[in-house]
Structure 1
Amino acid sequence: MRLFAIFTLFFISVSAVHAGAWPRDKGDLFIAAGGNFLLSNGAELPVHYDPTVYAEYGLTDRITLGLDFYTADKGRIASGFTFVSVPVGSLKLKNRASVSVGYGYRLNPDTSTEGLMRLGLSVGRALDKGWLAADASATIGLQDTTWRPKADFTWGHGWSNRWTSTIQLQTGQGYYNDDYAKVSPTIIFSLNERFKINLGAVKALTGDGGSALKLETWLRF
């Protein structure tokens, strides 16, 4: 149980894209904001400044509500979602899973807006000093009726109460139906239980092969 509690804390501190396989505790509010900086020359797709704002709230022990705002495709696309995530099965299992459903809007390059639906599946497994996780989702535009998938694969390792490292492979399909892949190593420093700083890098494995540093701040209330 102690190992599970430590692992849950680590996972909460790095889950800034999806609710993940572990739900928020009841009454727990998490807010993340950040983006990329110091882009390499010519970096446009799939790595750009990519600012994001993300929030989760534990409505109950099994229901997590969230907001997800971000830009993509060289800043030409802006999307915002509200979502709900629920775990599958017992909350005491070492191997965990959750499903989510979201609704939102996308601002397209021609300044038109389009409604979106998003379905998600997350799975994870606790390790002795870390975790493995896979977060998959797919969005469909209510006008263009095109499914666009996304999947992130994460390995995290806790070095101490203050330091955690992660390596993540990010894959998916962009607005123009271009497949992309990026790798992102990060270091997380915990100032205290409520405030954490994430400093890392991101490198495109497709497209123009660009890279950048990234910085995010995470708050828990």
Structure 2
Amino acid sequence: MRRLLLPLLFLLATATGALAGAWPRERGTGFLSTGVQLAWPQNLEHWTSPNPTQQYYTFYLEYGMTDRLTLGLDLGRSVSGAGKTVAFLQWPLLDRESGPKVAVAFGFGQIGDRTVLRPGLSVGWGLQRGWLTMDALAEVQIDTSLTDYKIDFTWGRNLAHDRKVLLQVQTGQPADDPAFVRIVPSYVFPLGRRGIMVETGATYGVTGDSSMGVKFGIWKNF
């Protein structure tokens, strides 16, 4: 798997970049999300208590500086598992009425105690009642040139009453660890009438990840 995954991630993630997604934000509008993920070993024999063995928190922000330039901030956990603080700019390469949307981004920040550059690429397709996206990135340590790669595939479907279901396949290749594949299904529903969305979901490692867990998050467009 490593032989197939690494070249694909390299080609996609070093093209230039995008974590903001393939659809650009309109000028003066934004998106905010925050969440928590808790995980336990899949093998119940490895449990020493019901407390999660892994937990981390995320904060993500996008803001449309112009109709073609999006500013973002990404806080949480990196591909390698270390804490991250990355600011980025994203802009569209292909933004037609029909066909795929393509956007690139370039980020700069801190992962653990290392300064990193983070290029990425996003491709999105609008479906009749939903969407399909591919988001790839590389996290390059400036001082060592060690690089972590990640690519996520997300399928989303819009339901009645502004509800949504998502299925994400997360894959990655940390510089010092085996490649991993993780399945993350989730359900999103509105909370009240202020445009706040709540996401609840689960995570399950398929390969290179022996954990399972739950996730909770809040979205807000503004």
TM bracket (short chain)? 0.7 to 0.9
Distance 1:73 1:133, change over 3 A: closer
CA contact (8 A) 2:140 2:148 kept: yes
The one-letter amino acid paired with 2:172 is G
Contact conserved, 1:20 with 1:135, CA < 8 A, in 2? yes
Normalised TM-score (structure 2): 0.81
User: Structure 1: which amino acid aligns with 2:32?
Assistant: I
Helix, strand or coil for the counterpart of 2:136?
A: strand
Tell me the equivalent position of 2:67: 61
Deviation (angstroms), 1:50 = 2.8
Match of 1:82 among 87, 91, 113: 87
Structure 2 runs not aligned, ≥5 long: 1-17, 48-52
- Cα 1:151–1:137 change in 2 (3 A) is same
Change (3 A) 1:18 1:161: farther
Task: Tell me if the contact between 1:39 and 1:211 (Cα under 8 Å) persists in the aligned partners.
Answer: yes
**Superposition deviation, residue 36 in structure 1:** 1.3
Question: Quick check: 1:172 aligned with 2:172?
Answer: yes
Aligned AA (1:53)? F
Are the counterparts in 1 of residues 78 and 111 from structure 2 also a CA contact under 8 Å? no
Amino acid at match of 1:152: D
Aligned partner of 1:199 in structure 2 is: 200
Q: Residue in 1 aligned with 2:120?
A: 120
Q: Residue 129 and residue 208 in structure 1: after superposition, are their counterparts in 2 closer, same or farther (change >3 A)?
A: closer
2:84 and 2:78 map into 1 onto residues whose CA distance is 8
Cα distance between partner residues in 2 of 1:101 and 1:84: 6
Q: Structure 1 pair 73/149, CA: closer, same or farther in 2 (3 Å)?
A: closer
Give the TM-score taking structure 1 as reference length.
0.81
Match of 2:35 in 1: 34
Percent identity of paired positions between Structure 1 and Structure 2: 32
Q: Give the alignment's Cα RMSD to 1 decimal.
A: 2.2
Describe the shift of the 1:65–1:48 C-alpha distance in structure 2 as closer, same or farther (beyond 3 A). Answer: same
> What is the Cα deviation at residue 74 of structure 1?
8.9
Q: Number of aligned residue pairs: give it.
A: 196
Deviates more, 1:167-176 or 1:147-156: 167-176
Long gaps (5+) in structure 1: 1-16, 108-112
Q: 1:23 aligned to 2:28?
A: no
Aligned-pair CA distance for 1:90? 3.2
User: Structure 1: how far apart are the matches of 2:197 and 2:67?
Assistant: 23
Q: Is the 8 A contact 2:95 2:102 kept in 1?
A: no
The structure-2 alpha-carbon separation of the partners of 1:84 and 1:205, relative to structure 1 and needing over 3 Å to count, comes to same
2:156/2:164 contact within 8 Å kept: yes
**Matches of residues 69-108 of structure 1 in structure 2 within 5 Å?**
69-72=75-78, 77-107=82-112
Give the match's secondary structure for 1:143: coil
SS of residue matched to 1:161: helix
